[in-house]
Structure 1
Amino acid sequence: MVLKLFYDLHSQPSRALFMFLKLSKIPFQSCAVDLLRGEHLTKEFKKNYSKFQKVPFIHEDDFFLTESIGILRYLSRQYPIADHWYPKDSRKQAKVDELLEWQHLNIRLNCSTYFITKFTIPLKTGKDPVPEKVEKAKKYMVKSLSDFEELFLSGDGPFVFGDQISYADLQAACEIEQPRMVGYNSRDYFPKIKTWLENVRKECNPVYDEAHNVVNMIADDDDNLKAKL
Protein backbone atom coordinates (compact mmCIF):
# COMPACT_ATOMS: atom_id res chain seq x y z
CA MET A 1 0.00 0.00 0.00
CA VAL A 2 1.25 3.47 -0.86
CA LEU A 3 2.13 5.74 2.03
CA LYS A 4 -0.71 8.15 2.82
CA LEU A 5 -0.06 11.57 4.32
CA PHE A 6 -2.96 13.26 6.11
CA TYR A 7 -2.22 16.95 6.45
CA ASP A 8 -3.39 20.55 6.27
CA LEU A 9 -0.95 23.16 4.99
CA HIS A 10 -2.25 25.62 7.58
CA SER A 11 -0.36 23.38 10.03
CA GLN A 12 3.34 24.00 10.56
CA PRO A 13 4.37 20.33 11.11
CA SER A 14 2.21 19.34 8.14
CA ARG A 15 4.16 21.72 5.92
CA ALA A 16 7.50 20.44 7.18
CA LEU A 17 6.59 16.80 6.58
CA PHE A 18 4.97 17.57 3.21
CA MET A 19 8.20 19.24 2.07
CA PHE A 20 10.38 16.44 3.42
CA LEU A 21 8.43 13.77 1.55
CA LYS A 22 8.55 15.70 -1.71
CA LEU A 23 12.20 16.68 -1.43
CA SER A 24 13.17 13.12 -0.49
CA LYS A 25 11.12 11.77 -3.41
CA ILE A 26 9.23 9.37 -1.15
CA PRO A 27 6.05 8.36 -3.02
CA PHE A 28 2.93 9.27 -1.07
CA GLN A 29 -0.78 9.86 -1.50
CA SER A 30 -1.98 13.29 -0.42
CA CYS A 31 -4.95 13.17 1.95
CA ALA A 32 -5.95 16.73 2.80
CA VAL A 33 -7.74 17.37 6.09
CA ASP A 34 -9.61 20.66 6.62
CA LEU A 35 -8.74 21.75 10.14
CA LEU A 36 -10.81 24.93 9.96
CA ARG A 37 -13.92 22.84 9.29
CA GLY A 38 -13.04 20.45 12.09
CA GLU A 39 -12.74 17.35 9.93
CA HIS A 40 -10.20 15.96 12.41
CA LEU A 41 -12.60 16.26 15.37
CA THR A 42 -15.27 13.79 14.29
CA LYS A 43 -15.77 10.39 15.94
CA GLU A 44 -15.23 8.73 12.58
CA PHE A 45 -11.87 10.44 12.15
CA LYS A 46 -10.75 9.33 15.60
CA LYS A 47 -11.91 5.77 15.03
CA ASN A 48 -10.67 5.26 11.48
CA TYR A 49 -7.57 7.46 11.32
CA SER A 50 -5.84 9.28 14.17
CA LYS A 51 -6.71 8.55 17.79
CA PHE A 52 -5.03 11.86 18.65
CA GLN A 53 -7.23 13.72 16.13
CA LYS A 54 -4.26 15.70 14.87
CA VAL A 55 -2.36 16.20 11.65
CA PRO A 56 0.01 15.32 10.20
CA PHE A 57 -0.19 11.57 10.42
CA ILE A 58 0.63 8.72 8.09
CA HIS A 59 -1.06 5.47 7.15
CA GLU A 60 0.98 2.69 5.56
CA ASP A 61 -0.50 -0.80 5.24
CA ASP A 62 -1.88 -1.49 8.74
CA PHE A 63 0.43 1.06 10.39
CA PHE A 64 -0.76 4.45 11.66
CA LEU A 65 1.55 7.09 13.13
CA THR A 66 1.00 10.62 14.43
CA GLU A 67 3.49 13.35 15.43
CA SER A 68 5.71 14.76 12.70
CA ILE A 69 9.06 14.18 14.38
CA GLY A 70 8.20 10.57 15.16
CA ILE A 71 7.13 10.21 11.53
CA LEU A 72 10.44 11.70 10.35
CA ARG A 73 12.38 9.15 12.38
CA TYR A 74 10.25 6.30 11.08
CA LEU A 75 10.60 7.39 7.45
CA SER A 76 14.37 7.83 7.83
CA ARG A 77 14.59 4.15 8.75
CA GLN A 78 12.11 2.89 6.17
CA TYR A 79 13.23 4.80 3.07
CA PRO A 80 16.58 5.61 1.40
CA ILE A 81 16.67 9.33 2.16
CA ALA A 82 19.66 11.64 1.72
CA ASP A 83 21.72 11.51 4.92
CA HIS A 84 21.77 15.27 5.44
CA TRP A 85 18.07 15.34 6.32
CA TYR A 86 18.49 13.14 9.41
CA PRO A 87 22.09 11.89 9.65
CA LYS A 88 22.92 8.32 10.60
CA ASP A 89 26.02 9.49 12.43
CA SER A 90 25.02 9.52 16.11
CA ARG A 91 26.47 12.91 16.96
CA LYS A 92 25.15 14.67 13.86
CA GLN A 93 21.73 13.12 14.41
CA ALA A 94 21.79 14.17 18.05
CA LYS A 95 22.36 17.80 17.01
CA VAL A 96 19.30 17.68 14.74
CA ASP A 97 17.35 16.13 17.61
CA GLU A 98 18.60 18.89 19.90
CA LEU A 99 16.79 21.53 17.86
CA LEU A 100 13.74 19.36 17.24
CA GLU A 101 13.33 18.84 20.99
CA TRP A 102 14.18 22.45 21.90
CA GLN A 103 11.64 23.93 19.51
CA HIS A 104 8.64 22.28 21.19
CA LEU A 105 8.70 24.66 24.16
CA ASN A 106 10.22 27.58 22.32
CA ILE A 107 9.53 28.66 18.73
CA ARG A 108 6.73 26.12 18.26
CA LEU A 109 4.97 26.93 21.52
CA ASN A 110 5.36 30.69 21.31
CA CYS A 111 4.83 31.28 17.59
CA SER A 112 1.76 29.04 17.79
CA THR A 113 0.43 30.80 20.88
CA TYR A 114 0.72 34.17 19.15
CA PHE A 115 -1.10 32.82 16.09
CA ILE A 116 -3.81 31.16 18.21
CA THR A 117 -4.30 34.30 20.33
CA LYS A 118 -4.65 36.57 17.28
CA PHE A 119 -6.54 34.25 14.96
CA THR A 120 -7.80 30.89 16.21
CA ILE A 121 -9.49 32.01 19.43
CA PRO A 122 -11.17 35.05 17.80
CA LEU A 123 -12.31 32.80 14.94
CA LYS A 124 -13.91 30.32 17.34
CA THR A 125 -15.41 32.88 19.73
CA GLY A 126 -16.42 35.58 17.25
CA LYS A 127 -14.70 38.15 19.46
CA ASP A 128 -11.80 40.47 18.71
CA PRO A 129 -8.33 39.51 19.97
CA VAL A 130 -7.63 40.70 23.51
CA PRO A 131 -4.79 43.27 23.15
CA GLU A 132 -3.16 42.43 26.49
CA LYS A 133 -3.05 38.73 25.66
CA VAL A 134 -1.73 39.42 22.17
CA GLU A 135 1.09 41.58 23.57
CA LYS A 136 2.00 38.95 26.16
CA ALA A 137 2.09 36.23 23.50
CA LYS A 138 4.16 38.47 21.25
CA LYS A 139 6.69 39.10 24.03
CA TYR A 140 7.29 35.37 24.50
CA MET A 141 7.44 34.79 20.74
CA VAL A 142 10.02 37.52 20.20
CA LYS A 143 12.14 36.07 23.02
CA SER A 144 12.04 32.64 21.37
CA LEU A 145 12.97 34.08 17.98
CA SER A 146 15.86 35.96 19.54
CA ASP A 147 17.01 32.78 21.30
CA PHE A 148 16.75 30.80 18.06
CA GLU A 149 18.86 33.35 16.21
CA GLU A 150 21.52 33.40 18.94
CA LEU A 151 21.60 29.66 19.70
CA PHE A 152 21.22 28.16 16.25
CA LEU A 153 22.18 30.77 13.65
CA SER A 154 25.50 32.00 15.05
CA GLY A 155 27.69 29.41 13.33
CA ASP A 156 29.15 29.11 9.88
CA GLY A 157 27.16 28.02 6.87
CA PRO A 158 23.74 28.88 5.43
CA PHE A 159 21.75 26.39 7.53
CA VAL A 160 21.27 25.55 11.18
CA PHE A 161 24.02 22.93 11.09
CA GLY A 162 26.47 24.25 8.54
CA ASP A 163 26.51 23.77 4.80
CA GLN A 164 23.79 21.14 4.48
CA ILE A 165 20.10 21.50 5.13
CA SER A 166 18.43 19.14 7.61
CA TYR A 167 14.93 18.42 8.83
CA ALA A 168 15.67 20.83 11.67
CA ASP A 169 15.69 23.67 9.13
CA LEU A 170 12.34 22.59 7.69
CA GLN A 171 10.67 22.32 11.08
CA ALA A 172 12.00 25.63 12.36
CA ALA A 173 11.21 27.50 9.15
CA CYS A 174 7.60 26.34 9.14
CA GLU A 175 7.12 27.45 12.74
CA ILE A 176 8.67 30.86 12.11
CA GLU A 177 6.64 31.44 8.94
CA GLN A 178 3.32 30.87 10.77
CA PRO A 179 2.93 34.32 12.41
CA ARG A 180 3.11 35.97 8.99
CA MET A 181 -0.55 35.02 8.59
CA VAL A 182 -1.42 37.43 11.39
CA GLY A 183 0.91 40.23 10.41
CA TYR A 184 4.23 39.41 12.09
CA ASN A 185 7.15 38.75 9.75
CA SER A 186 10.33 37.86 11.62
CA ARG A 187 12.36 38.90 8.56
CA ASP A 188 11.62 42.52 9.48
CA TYR A 189 13.25 42.24 12.90
CA PHE A 190 15.86 39.47 12.80
CA PRO A 191 18.48 39.78 10.03
CA LYS A 192 20.02 36.35 10.62
CA ILE A 193 16.60 34.71 10.49
CA LYS A 194 15.84 36.59 7.28
CA THR A 195 19.01 35.34 5.57
CA TRP A 196 18.54 31.80 6.86
CA LEU A 197 14.89 31.64 5.73
CA GLU A 198 15.88 32.75 2.26
CA ASN A 199 18.58 30.07 2.19
CA VAL A 200 16.06 27.39 3.18
CA ARG A 201 13.52 28.65 0.65
CA LYS A 202 16.08 28.72 -2.16
CA GLU A 203 17.34 25.23 -1.31
CA CYS A 204 13.82 23.76 -1.17
CA ASN A 205 12.04 25.57 -3.99
CA PRO A 206 9.68 25.11 -5.74
CA VAL A 207 8.46 22.83 -2.94
CA TYR A 208 8.90 25.51 -0.26
CA ASP A 209 6.61 27.94 -2.06
CA GLU A 210 4.11 25.17 -2.78
CA ALA A 211 3.93 24.25 0.90
CA HIS A 212 3.64 27.90 1.95
CA ASN A 213 1.16 28.99 -0.70
CA VAL A 214 -1.65 29.39 1.81
CA VAL A 215 0.65 31.29 4.20
CA ASN A 216 1.76 33.61 1.42
CA MET A 217 -1.77 34.27 0.20
CA ILE A 218 -3.04 35.16 3.67
CA ALA A 219 0.04 37.20 4.56
CA ASP A 220 -0.21 39.18 1.33
CA ASP A 221 -3.97 39.78 1.62
CA ASP A 222 -4.63 43.33 2.82
CA ASP A 223 -8.05 42.25 4.05
CA ASN A 224 -6.79 39.68 6.54
CA LEU A 225 -6.26 40.15 10.25
CA LYS A 226 -2.96 41.98 9.87
CA ALA A 227 -5.02 45.03 8.82
CA LYS A 228 -6.17 45.19 12.44
CA LEU A 229 -2.67 45.55 13.84
Structure 2
Amino acid sequence: MAASPGVEVYLDLLSQPCRALLILLECNQIPHTVRTVALRKGENKTPEFTKMNPMQKVPVLVDGDFVLTESDAILKYLATKFNVPEHWYPRQPERRARVDEYTAWHHTNTRPHAAKVFILEVLLPAMSGSPVDEGRLNRALSQLDETLDKLETMFLRRQPFLCGDEITVADLLAICELMQPLVAGRDVLQQRPKLQHWKSRVQSAVGGAFDRAHAVLYGARERHKAKL
Protein backbone atom coordinates (compact mmCIF):
# COMPACT_ATOMS: atom_id res chain seq x y z
CA MET A 1 0.00 0.00 0.00
CA ALA A 2 1.49 3.37 -1.06
CA ALA A 3 2.11 5.97 1.63
CA SER A 4 -0.27 8.90 1.69
CA PRO A 5 1.22 11.91 -0.14
CA GLY A 6 -0.10 14.13 2.63
CA VAL A 7 -2.69 16.86 2.77
CA GLU A 8 -2.80 20.53 1.83
CA VAL A 9 -4.04 23.00 4.43
CA TYR A 10 -4.98 26.59 3.72
CA LEU A 11 -4.25 28.65 6.84
CA ASP A 12 -3.90 32.13 8.26
CA LEU A 13 -2.19 31.67 11.63
CA LEU A 14 -3.88 34.78 13.04
CA SER A 15 -6.98 32.55 12.91
CA GLN A 16 -7.52 30.54 16.08
CA PRO A 17 -8.75 27.25 14.49
CA CYS A 18 -5.89 27.37 11.95
CA ARG A 19 -3.41 27.27 14.83
CA ALA A 20 -5.20 24.30 16.42
CA LEU A 21 -5.01 22.45 13.10
CA LEU A 22 -1.30 23.18 12.60
CA ILE A 23 -0.49 21.96 16.13
CA LEU A 24 -2.30 18.65 15.49
CA LEU A 25 -0.49 18.16 12.16
CA GLU A 26 2.94 18.93 13.64
CA CYS A 27 2.49 16.91 16.84
CA ASN A 28 1.52 13.81 14.89
CA GLN A 29 3.92 14.31 11.99
CA ILE A 30 1.06 14.09 9.49
CA PRO A 31 2.53 14.85 6.05
CA HIS A 32 1.18 18.25 5.02
CA THR A 33 1.78 21.35 2.94
CA VAL A 34 0.74 24.74 4.31
CA ARG A 35 -0.76 27.24 1.86
CA THR A 36 -0.93 30.66 3.51
CA VAL A 37 -4.12 32.68 2.98
CA ALA A 38 -3.75 36.25 4.32
CA LEU A 39 -7.25 37.25 5.43
CA ARG A 40 -6.19 40.87 5.98
CA LYS A 41 -5.23 41.06 2.28
CA GLY A 42 -8.52 39.52 1.17
CA GLU A 43 -6.83 36.39 -0.21
CA ASN A 44 -9.83 34.38 1.03
CA LYS A 45 -12.06 36.29 -1.41
CA THR A 46 -10.20 35.41 -4.61
CA PRO A 47 -12.16 33.40 -7.24
CA GLU A 48 -9.77 30.44 -6.78
CA PHE A 49 -10.23 30.28 -3.02
CA THR A 50 -14.00 30.93 -3.24
CA LYS A 51 -14.34 28.00 -5.64
CA MET A 52 -12.68 25.78 -3.04
CA ASN A 53 -14.61 27.24 -0.09
CA PRO A 54 -17.67 29.36 -0.98
CA MET A 55 -17.80 30.50 2.69
CA GLN A 56 -14.41 32.25 2.11
CA LYS A 57 -13.09 31.09 5.49
CA VAL A 58 -10.01 29.28 6.75
CA PRO A 59 -8.92 26.64 7.52
CA VAL A 60 -9.53 24.45 4.48
CA LEU A 61 -8.19 20.93 4.08
CA VAL A 62 -7.59 19.33 0.69
CA ASP A 63 -6.87 15.59 0.69
CA GLY A 64 -6.74 14.47 -2.94
CA ASP A 65 -10.20 15.22 -4.34
CA PHE A 66 -11.70 15.63 -0.87
CA VAL A 67 -12.18 19.19 0.44
CA LEU A 68 -13.25 19.96 4.03
CA THR A 69 -14.02 23.45 5.32
CA GLU A 70 -14.92 23.31 9.04
CA SER A 71 -12.14 23.21 11.63
CA ASP A 72 -13.93 20.81 14.00
CA ALA A 73 -14.58 18.34 11.17
CA ILE A 74 -11.02 18.73 9.82
CA LEU A 75 -9.41 17.94 13.20
CA LYS A 76 -11.58 14.85 13.69
CA TYR A 77 -11.07 13.69 10.11
CA LEU A 78 -7.28 13.90 10.45
CA ALA A 79 -7.30 12.13 13.81
CA THR A 80 -9.39 9.31 12.29
CA LYS A 81 -7.74 8.94 8.88
CA PHE A 82 -4.10 9.20 9.97
CA ASN A 83 -4.48 6.87 12.93
CA VAL A 84 -2.93 9.31 15.39
CA PRO A 85 -2.65 8.27 19.08
CA GLU A 86 -6.18 7.52 20.19
CA HIS A 87 -6.31 10.10 22.97
CA TRP A 88 -6.70 12.92 20.38
CA TYR A 89 -10.16 11.68 19.35
CA PRO A 90 -10.97 8.46 21.22
CA ARG A 91 -12.73 5.55 19.52
CA GLN A 92 -14.47 4.41 22.70
CA PRO A 93 -18.02 5.85 22.41
CA GLU A 94 -18.31 7.58 25.81
CA ARG A 95 -14.86 9.15 25.60
CA ARG A 96 -15.48 10.29 22.02
CA ALA A 97 -18.83 11.75 23.08
CA ARG A 98 -17.04 13.84 25.73
CA VAL A 99 -14.90 15.42 23.00
CA ASP A 100 -17.97 15.99 20.81
CA GLU A 101 -19.78 17.49 23.80
CA TYR A 102 -17.04 20.09 24.29
CA THR A 103 -16.60 20.91 20.60
CA ALA A 104 -20.37 21.42 20.17
CA TRP A 105 -20.37 23.76 23.21
CA HIS A 106 -17.20 25.54 22.04
CA HIS A 107 -18.86 27.09 18.98
CA THR A 108 -21.46 29.01 20.99
CA ASN A 109 -19.32 29.73 24.06
CA THR A 110 -15.50 29.78 24.09
CA ARG A 111 -15.14 30.72 20.43
CA PRO A 112 -17.52 33.70 20.11
CA HIS A 113 -16.81 35.09 23.58
CA ALA A 114 -13.00 35.10 23.30
CA ALA A 115 -13.17 36.28 19.68
CA LYS A 116 -15.48 39.18 20.61
CA VAL A 117 -12.93 40.54 23.11
CA PHE A 118 -10.26 40.44 20.38
CA ILE A 119 -12.57 42.05 17.80
CA LEU A 120 -13.60 44.91 20.13
CA GLU A 121 -10.11 45.56 21.52
CA VAL A 122 -7.97 45.07 18.41
CA LEU A 123 -9.79 44.54 15.14
CA LEU A 124 -12.49 47.23 15.15
CA PRO A 125 -10.20 50.04 16.41
CA ALA A 126 -7.57 49.06 13.79
CA MET A 127 -10.14 49.07 10.98
CA SER A 128 -12.08 52.18 12.00
CA GLY A 129 -9.36 54.26 13.66
CA SER A 130 -11.76 54.92 16.54
CA PRO A 131 -10.99 54.17 20.22
CA VAL A 132 -12.07 50.99 21.99
CA ASP A 133 -15.74 51.05 23.04
CA GLU A 134 -15.15 50.38 26.75
CA GLY A 135 -18.80 49.65 27.50
CA ARG A 136 -19.08 46.94 24.85
CA LEU A 137 -15.67 45.56 25.80
CA ASN A 138 -16.64 45.26 29.48
CA ARG A 139 -19.84 43.41 28.55
CA ALA A 140 -17.82 41.05 26.32
CA LEU A 141 -15.31 40.43 29.12
CA SER A 142 -18.17 39.62 31.48
CA GLN A 143 -19.54 37.05 29.00
CA LEU A 144 -16.08 35.56 28.60
CA ASP A 145 -15.74 35.33 32.39
CA GLU A 146 -18.91 33.23 32.55
CA THR A 147 -17.47 30.93 29.89
CA LEU A 148 -14.18 30.59 31.80
CA ASP A 149 -16.17 29.71 34.94
CA LYS A 150 -17.86 26.89 33.02
CA LEU A 151 -14.53 25.62 31.65
CA GLU A 152 -13.34 25.30 35.25
CA THR A 153 -16.49 23.93 36.86
CA MET A 154 -17.87 21.74 34.04
CA PHE A 155 -14.91 20.55 32.04
CA LEU A 156 -11.88 20.72 34.33
CA ARG A 157 -13.58 19.99 37.63
CA ARG A 158 -11.81 16.68 38.34
CA GLN A 159 -9.51 16.08 35.41
CA PRO A 160 -6.32 17.54 33.91
CA PHE A 161 -7.72 18.14 30.38
CA LEU A 162 -11.12 19.28 29.13
CA CYS A 163 -12.34 15.80 28.22
CA GLY A 164 -10.38 13.47 30.47
CA ASP A 165 -6.90 12.47 31.56
CA GLU A 166 -5.20 13.12 28.21
CA ILE A 167 -5.12 15.91 25.65
CA THR A 168 -7.71 15.86 22.84
CA VAL A 169 -8.59 18.04 19.85
CA ALA A 170 -10.98 19.86 22.23
CA ASP A 171 -8.05 21.26 24.22
CA LEU A 172 -6.42 22.56 21.03
CA LEU A 173 -9.55 24.40 19.90
CA ALA A 174 -10.04 25.92 23.35
CA ILE A 175 -6.49 27.06 24.07
CA CYS A 176 -6.00 28.64 20.64
CA GLU A 177 -9.20 30.61 21.15
CA LEU A 178 -8.17 31.81 24.62
CA MET A 179 -4.79 32.97 23.31
CA GLN A 180 -6.41 35.38 20.84
CA PRO A 181 -6.96 38.36 23.23
CA LEU A 182 -3.20 38.25 23.91
CA VAL A 183 -2.73 40.39 20.76
CA ALA A 184 -3.88 43.34 22.89
CA GLY A 185 -1.66 42.15 25.77
CA ARG A 186 -4.72 40.75 27.57
CA ASP A 187 -4.08 37.42 29.31
CA VAL A 188 -7.62 36.21 30.06
CA LEU A 189 -6.26 33.37 32.25
CA GLN A 190 -4.20 35.66 34.48
CA GLN A 191 -6.44 35.42 37.54
CA ARG A 192 -7.34 31.76 37.00
CA PRO A 193 -4.74 29.29 38.35
CA LYS A 194 -6.79 26.23 37.38
CA LEU A 195 -6.90 27.33 33.75
CA GLN A 196 -3.25 28.40 33.84
CA HIS A 197 -2.25 24.91 34.98
CA TRP A 198 -4.39 23.39 32.21
CA LYS A 199 -2.68 25.66 29.65
CA SER A 200 0.73 24.54 30.94
CA ARG A 201 -0.31 20.89 30.57
CA VAL A 202 -1.45 21.54 26.99
CA GLN A 203 1.83 23.29 26.14
CA SER A 204 3.81 20.47 27.70
CA ALA A 205 1.82 17.86 25.73
CA VAL A 206 2.38 19.54 22.35
CA GLY A 207 5.92 20.86 22.89
CA GLY A 208 7.43 23.35 20.46
CA ALA A 209 4.43 23.12 18.10
CA PHE A 210 2.57 25.49 20.46
CA ASP A 211 4.95 28.43 20.10
CA ARG A 212 5.54 27.78 16.39
CA ALA A 213 1.80 27.97 15.73
CA HIS A 214 1.52 31.14 17.84
CA ALA A 215 4.58 32.97 16.45
CA VAL A 216 2.39 35.11 14.16
CA LEU A 217 0.15 36.02 17.11
CA TYR A 218 3.17 36.95 19.27
CA GLY A 219 4.38 39.17 16.41
CA ALA A 220 0.97 40.85 16.18
CA ARG A 221 1.09 41.50 19.94
CA GLU A 222 4.47 43.25 19.58
CA ARG A 223 3.21 45.39 16.68
CA HIS A 224 0.07 46.31 18.63
CA LYS A 225 2.18 47.25 21.66
CA ALA A 226 4.47 49.43 19.50
CA LYS A 227 1.45 51.33 18.08
CA LEU A 228 0.05 52.21 21.51
Partner of 1:89: 92
Does residue 200 (structure 1) correspond to residue 220 (structure 2)? The answer is: no
Does residue 105 (structure 1) correspond to residue 117 (structure 2)? The answer is: no
Does residue 44 (structure 1) correspond to residue 48 (structure 2)? The answer is: yes
Runs of 5+ unmatched residues, structure 2? none
**The residue matched to 2:120 in structure 1 has which SS?**
helix
1:197, distance to aligned residue in structure 2 (A): 0.3
Alpha carbons 1:182, 1:224 under 8 Å: kept: no
**The residue matched to 1:64 in structure 2 has which SS?**
strand
Question: Cα RMSD over matched residues?
Answer: 1.7
Give TM-score scaled by structure 2 length.
0.92
Partner of 1:163: 165
Runs of 5+ unmatched residues, structure 1? none
Amino acid aligned to 1:29: T
Give TM-score scaled by structure 1 length.
0.91
Taking the aligned partners of 1:4 and 1:222, their CA distance within structure 2 comes to 31
**The residue matched to 1:59 in structure 2 has which SS?**
strand
Does residue 153 (structure 1) correspond to residue 156 (structure 2)? The answer is: yes
Percentage of identical aligned residues: 34
Taking the aligned partners of 1:213 and 1:170, their CA distance within structure 2 comes to 16
Alpha carbons 1:106, 1:144 under 8 Å: kept: yes
- Tell me: CA distance 1:46–1:72, structure 2 relative to 1, closer, same or farther (3 Å): same
Taking the aligned partners of 2:103 and 2:83, their CA distance within structure 1 comes to 21
Equivalent residue in structure 2 for 1:186, among 174, 188, 197: 188
1:186, distance to aligned residue in structure 2 (A): 2.3
Alpha carbons 1:85, 1:166 under 8 Å: kept: yes
Taking the aligned partners of 2:158 and 2:33, their CA distance within structure 1 comes to 38
1:222, distance to aligned residue in structure 2 (A): 7.1
Amino acid aligned to 1:209: D
1:126-137 matched pairs, under 5 angstroms: 126-137=129-140
1:76, distance to aligned residue in structure 2 (A): 2.8
Taking the aligned partners of 1:59 and 1:92, their CA distance within structure 2 comes to 28
Amino acid aligned to 1:15: R
